[in-house]
Protein backbone atom coordinates (compact mmCIF):
# COMPACT_ATOMS: atom_id res chain seq x y z
CA UNK A 1 0.00 0.00 0.00
CA UNK A 2 1.35 3.40 -0.88
CA UNK A 3 0.59 6.99 -0.10
CA UNK A 4 -1.78 6.99 -3.04
CA UNK A 5 -4.11 4.76 -1.06
CA UNK A 6 -5.16 2.59 -3.99
CA UNK A 7 -5.35 -0.38 -1.66
CA UNK A 8 -7.26 0.00 1.57
CA UNK A 9 -6.93 -1.86 4.86
CA UNK A 10 -9.81 -3.66 6.54
CA UNK A 11 -10.33 -3.41 10.26
CA UNK A 12 -12.11 -5.55 12.82
CA UNK A 13 -11.96 -8.75 10.84
CA UNK A 14 -13.15 -9.77 7.39
CA UNK A 15 -15.71 -7.39 5.98
CA UNK A 16 -14.77 -4.63 8.44
CA UNK A 17 -14.48 -0.98 7.52
CA UNK A 18 -12.09 -0.06 4.75
CA UNK A 19 -9.47 2.52 5.64
CA UNK A 20 -7.86 4.27 2.69
CA UNK A 21 -6.15 7.57 2.02
CA UNK A 22 -8.72 10.32 2.41
CA UNK A 23 -10.94 8.35 4.82
CA UNK A 24 -12.18 10.25 7.86
CA UNK A 25 -11.82 8.14 11.02
CA UNK A 26 -12.43 8.48 14.74
CA UNK A 27 -9.43 7.50 16.87
CA UNK A 28 -8.86 8.22 20.57
CA UNK A 29 -12.03 10.29 20.62
CA UNK A 30 -10.94 12.65 17.83
CA UNK A 31 -11.62 13.00 14.11
CA UNK A 32 -8.67 12.39 11.76
CA UNK A 33 -8.05 12.12 8.02
CA UNK A 34 -5.95 9.23 6.71
CA UNK A 35 -2.98 10.87 4.96
CA UNK A 36 -0.92 7.78 4.08
CA UNK A 37 -0.86 3.97 4.29
CA UNK A 38 2.40 2.06 4.01
CA UNK A 39 3.93 -1.11 5.41
CA UNK A 40 1.20 -1.80 7.97
CA UNK A 41 1.29 1.78 9.21
CA UNK A 42 -1.15 4.63 8.88
CA UNK A 43 -0.44 8.35 9.05
CA UNK A 44 -3.31 10.45 10.39
CA UNK A 45 -3.73 14.22 10.27
CA UNK A 46 -6.09 16.16 12.54
CA UNK A 47 -7.98 19.34 11.63
CA UNK A 48 -5.45 21.41 13.60
CA UNK A 49 -2.63 19.96 11.49
CA UNK A 50 -1.35 17.53 14.13
CA UNK A 51 0.03 14.37 12.57
CA UNK A 52 0.47 10.93 14.04
CA UNK A 53 1.87 7.71 12.59
CA UNK A 54 0.95 4.34 14.09
CA UNK A 55 0.44 0.70 13.25
CA UNK A 56 -2.88 -0.13 11.62
CA UNK A 57 -3.43 -2.79 14.27
CA UNK A 58 -3.35 -0.09 16.97
CA UNK A 59 -5.83 2.03 15.03
CA UNK A 60 -8.21 -0.90 14.63
CA UNK A 61 -7.79 -1.91 18.30
CA UNK A 62 -8.90 1.50 19.60
CA UNK A 63 -12.26 1.14 21.40
CA UNK A 64 -13.72 4.23 19.73
CA UNK A 65 -12.33 3.53 16.26
CA UNK A 66 -14.73 3.98 13.38
CA UNK A 67 -14.64 5.04 9.75
CA UNK A 68 -16.66 8.25 9.72
CA UNK A 69 -16.59 8.99 5.99
CA UNK A 70 -15.19 7.52 2.80
CA UNK A 71 -12.65 9.56 0.87
CA UNK A 72 -13.88 12.01 -1.70
CA UNK A 73 -13.75 10.68 -5.23
CA UNK A 74 -10.68 12.12 -6.88
CA UNK A 75 -11.37 13.21 -10.42
CA UNK A 76 -8.30 12.26 -12.40
CA UNK A 77 -7.81 14.22 -15.62
CA UNK A 78 -7.11 12.34 -18.83
CA UNK A 79 -3.50 11.23 -19.13
CA UNK A 80 -1.22 13.99 -20.41
CA UNK A 81 -3.79 16.76 -20.15
CA UNK A 82 -1.79 18.70 -17.56
CA UNK A 83 1.21 18.73 -19.88
CA UNK A 84 -0.95 20.16 -22.69
CA UNK A 85 -1.76 23.30 -20.71
CA UNK A 86 0.22 26.50 -21.29
CA UNK A 87 3.43 26.57 -19.23
CA UNK A 88 2.35 29.53 -17.02
CA UNK A 89 -0.89 27.74 -16.05
CA UNK A 90 0.98 24.53 -15.24
CA UNK A 91 3.68 26.42 -13.30
CA UNK A 92 1.11 28.31 -11.23
CA UNK A 93 -0.52 25.00 -10.21
CA UNK A 94 2.90 23.60 -9.23
CA UNK A 95 3.66 26.73 -7.18
CA UNK A 96 0.33 26.39 -5.37
CA UNK A 97 1.07 22.72 -4.71
CA UNK A 98 4.29 23.66 -2.85
CA UNK A 99 2.44 26.32 -0.84
CA UNK A 100 -0.42 23.96 0.07
CA UNK A 101 2.01 21.23 1.13
CA UNK A 102 3.92 23.70 3.30
CA UNK A 103 0.72 24.81 5.03
CA UNK A 104 -0.36 21.23 5.67
CA UNK A 105 2.95 19.60 6.61
CA UNK A 106 5.39 22.41 7.33
CA UNK A 107 7.53 21.51 4.27
CA UNK A 108 7.02 22.60 0.63
CA UNK A 109 8.00 19.09 -0.47
CA UNK A 110 5.45 17.41 1.81
CA UNK A 111 5.79 15.48 5.05
CA UNK A 112 8.79 13.42 3.88
CA UNK A 113 11.02 16.47 3.31
CA UNK A 114 14.25 16.78 5.27
CA UNK A 115 15.09 19.54 7.70
CA UNK A 116 13.03 21.55 10.13
CA UNK A 117 9.88 23.36 9.07
CA UNK A 118 9.96 27.14 8.89
CA UNK A 119 8.68 28.49 12.21
CA UNK A 120 5.48 30.00 10.78
CA UNK A 121 4.50 26.63 9.21
CA UNK A 122 5.59 24.22 11.93
CA UNK A 123 2.57 22.00 12.73
CA UNK A 124 4.05 21.29 16.15
CA UNK A 125 3.81 24.97 17.09
CA UNK A 126 1.16 26.58 14.86
CA UNK A 127 -2.49 25.70 14.26
CA UNK A 128 -3.70 25.12 10.73
CA UNK A 129 -5.53 28.46 10.77
CA UNK A 130 -2.32 30.25 11.83
CA UNK A 131 -0.40 28.55 9.03
CA UNK A 132 -3.07 29.56 6.50
CA UNK A 133 -2.84 33.18 7.70
CA UNK A 134 0.96 33.08 7.49
CA UNK A 135 0.82 31.72 3.93
CA UNK A 136 -1.68 34.40 2.87
CA UNK A 137 0.58 37.11 4.32
CA UNK A 138 3.67 35.60 2.63
CA UNK A 139 2.00 35.38 -0.77
CA UNK A 140 0.54 38.90 -0.49
CA UNK A 141 3.96 40.31 0.45
CA UNK A 142 5.43 38.56 -2.61
CA UNK A 143 2.98 40.37 -4.92
CA UNK A 144 0.32 37.65 -5.11
CA UNK A 145 -2.60 39.12 -3.09
CA UNK A 146 -4.14 36.19 -1.22
CA UNK A 147 -6.41 35.70 1.77
CA UNK A 148 -6.47 32.87 4.30
CA UNK A 149 -9.83 31.88 2.79
CA UNK A 150 -8.15 31.45 -0.61
CA UNK A 151 -5.40 29.33 0.94
CA UNK A 152 -8.07 27.17 2.61
CA UNK A 153 -9.97 26.87 -0.69
CA UNK A 154 -6.80 25.83 -2.53
CA UNK A 155 -6.10 23.21 0.15
CA UNK A 156 -9.59 21.79 -0.39
CA UNK A 157 -9.15 21.80 -4.17
CA UNK A 158 -5.81 19.98 -3.81
CA UNK A 159 -7.33 17.42 -1.44
CA UNK A 160 -10.22 16.77 -3.87
CA UNK A 161 -8.41 16.91 -7.20
CA UNK A 162 -4.68 16.74 -6.60
CA UNK A 163 -2.52 18.93 -8.80
CA UNK A 164 -5.30 19.19 -11.39
CA UNK A 165 -7.51 20.79 -8.70
CA UNK A 166 -5.02 23.66 -8.48
CA UNK A 167 -5.26 24.45 -12.19
CA UNK A 168 -7.25 27.58 -13.01
CA UNK A 169 -10.17 25.80 -14.67
CA UNK A 170 -11.05 28.87 -16.75
CA UNK A 171 -7.78 28.41 -18.65
CA UNK A 172 -8.31 24.65 -18.97
CA UNK A 173 -11.77 24.74 -20.60
CA UNK A 174 -10.54 25.12 -24.20
CA UNK A 175 -8.11 22.23 -23.66
CA UNK A 176 -10.78 20.06 -22.06
CA UNK A 177 -13.25 20.65 -24.89
CA UNK A 178 -10.55 19.86 -27.50
CA UNK A 179 -9.64 16.67 -25.62
CA UNK A 180 -13.32 15.65 -25.38
CA UNK A 181 -13.80 16.30 -29.10
CA UNK A 182 -10.76 14.11 -29.84
CA UNK A 183 -12.17 11.32 -27.69
CA UNK A 184 -15.55 11.56 -29.45
CA UNK A 185 -13.86 11.41 -32.88
CA UNK A 186 -11.91 8.31 -31.83
CA UNK A 187 -15.08 6.64 -30.55
CA UNK A 188 -16.86 7.40 -33.83
CA UNK A 189 -13.96 5.98 -35.85
CA UNK A 190 -13.91 2.79 -33.75
CA UNK A 191 -17.67 2.45 -34.14
CA UNK A 192 -17.43 2.89 -37.93
CA UNK A 193 -14.57 0.39 -38.12
CA UNK A 194 -16.65 -2.25 -36.35
- For the stretch 33-47, pLDDT in tens is 888 777 788 889 888
Query: Do 65 and 141 sit in the same domain of this protein?
Result: no
Greatest mean pLDDT among 62-71, 94-103, 157-166: 94-103
Higher pLDDT, 115 or 77: 115
Distance CA 163, CA 157 (A): 9
91 and 45 fall within a common domain: no
Are residue 94 and residue 175 in the same domain, yes or no? yes
State the pLDDT at residue 4: 38
pLDDT at 190 > cutoff 70: no
Task: Give domain status of residue 181, yes or no.
Answer: yes
Examine the domain organization and report whether 30 and 87 are in the same domain. no
Confidence of residue 90 (pLDDT cuts 50, 70, 90): confident
Q: Verify that 63 and 105 share a domain, yes or no.
A: no
Q: Please indicate, yes or no, whether residues 45 and 134 belong to a single structural domain of this protein.
A: no
Q: How confident is the model at residue 5 (pLDDT cuts 50, 70, 90)?
A: very low
Q: With 0-12 CB in 10 A as exposed, 13-18 as middle and 19+ as buried, what is 179?
A: middle
What's the domain range around 56?
9-69
Q: What is the mean pLDDT of the chain?
A: 77
In a domain, 37, yes or no: yes
Same domain, 41 and 86: no
pLDDT at 22 over 90: no
Q: Phi then psi for 44, rounded to 5 degrees?
A: -110, 150
Share of the chain above pLDDT 70, in %: 71
Is 33 among the domain residues?
yes
> Which pLDDT score, from 0 to 100, does residue 145 have?
94
The answer on 104 and 165 residing in a single domain is yes
* Whole-angstrom distance, CA of residue 76 vs CA of residue 191: 26
The pLDDT of residue 2 is 37
- My answer on whether 128 and 166 are in the same domain is yes
Residue 193, domain member (yes or no) = no
Nearest alpha-carbon partner for 93 in 79, 106, 81: 81
Task: Examine residue 161 and state whether it is found in any structural domain, yes or no.
Answer: yes
Q: What is the CATH number of the domain that holds 29?
A: 2.30.30.60
Q: Do 104 and 125 lie in a common domain?
A: yes
Domain-embedded: residue 192: no
Residue 49 has a pLDDT of 80
Number of domains in the chain: 2
Taking only the tens place, the pLDDT of each residue in 130-188 is: 999 999 999 999 999 999 999 999 998 888 878 888 888 777 655 444 555 555 556 66
Instruction: State the pLDDT at residue 162.
Output: 82
| Domain co-membership, 34 together with 97 | no
Residue 3 maps to a domain? no
Looking at the fold, whether 63 and 85 belong to one and the same domain comes out as: no
Amino acid sequence: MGAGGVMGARGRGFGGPVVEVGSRVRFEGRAWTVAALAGGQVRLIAENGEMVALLLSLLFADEGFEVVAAPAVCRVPPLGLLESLPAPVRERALVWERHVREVETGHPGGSGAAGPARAEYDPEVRTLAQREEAKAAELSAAGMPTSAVTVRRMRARYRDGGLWGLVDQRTARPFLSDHLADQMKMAAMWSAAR
